Amino acid sequence: MTIEKYRHPVLFYILATLIPWISWFTAGHISHITPSNNLNILVASILGIIGLTSPMIIAFSMILPDKELRSDILERFFSFKKIKPIYIFATFFLMLASILLAQAVSLLFGYSSDQFKLSGVFSFSAGVFPAWFMLLIAPVLEELAWHTYGTDCLRKRFSLISTSLMFAIYWGMWHFPLSFIKDYYQSNLAESGWIYSLNFVVSLIPYVLLMNWLYYKTGRNILVAIIFHITAGFFNEIFLTHPDSKIIQTVLLLVLTIFIVIKDRDFFFQRDYSI
């Protein structure tokens, strides 16, 4: 079985953490140098992209020398035979439905219906790179690491529930240095209050479980993971969503995740990979 060839989780995750963290902590320092100038912004932006891209480069450096792994990656990009329509629908619209429902629930607590209006602006910037560009490119670059090598090298050894929980915790830590880069999403989140930063970390638990549920239900399709990741960022940015509604969204996703895990218990808890 091809998944047995994803053999180096320790090496992958050490490198996929070390290089981004060095790049991002350095970028964070440069972004706060005053007076700011175009060169500082450019250097910090480049370091940000280097950190973002490095896990993908590490993953592909482990995959490309092996013919069987190369074939596995190509097949998982272009094979759609195992994908049922319900999973396609969930991939594209689950995150949209969750944020709209969260905003609707917030109305019961007195929050404004203006949340359903399109914002017209983004809540963050990324140096020289437009926010819309980062909302597209970041999911692509990340999932070309996490769902080409990173997830499967854990799933080879652990159940899907353990794999997902471990990765969610790791992913929260992986984002940590971004909170020091001026005007980045995580930095703005930290400035808005600790409860919202905590919500971001907690939200990764149901999010990762749902993404991996879709990923393995669709035959480990990499495009499914990329699209789901894009929709998560995009739909949480386009509305005038109150930050508290995102907390409600996390609760709703947790409830949905618990329901799916209980309903498909064997799928999540079986130790041997036999999908």
Cα distance between residue 56 and residue 119, in whole Å: 32
Question: Is the torsion defined by CA of 87, 221, 126, 48 positive or negative?
Answer: positive
- Catalytic residue list: 142, 175
Which residues partner with 239 through β-bridges? 118
Contact residues for 206 (Cβ-Cβ < 8 A; gap 6+): 250, 253, 254, 256, 257
User: Phi, psi (5° rounding) for residue 83?
Assistant: -95, 120
The residue type of 272 is D
Q: Which residue from 126, 131, 135 is spatially nearest to 49, judged by alpha carbons?
A: 126
Question: Is the torsion defined by CA of 49, 50, 51, 54 positive or negative?
Answer: positive
Residue 199 contacts residue 131 (beta carbons within 8 Å): no
Q: Which residue from 244, 248, 210 is spatially nearest to 102, judged by alpha carbons?
A: 248
Q: Which residue from 250, 246, 248 is spatially nearest to 236, judged by alpha carbons?
A: 246
Which residues partner with 129 through β-bridges? 126
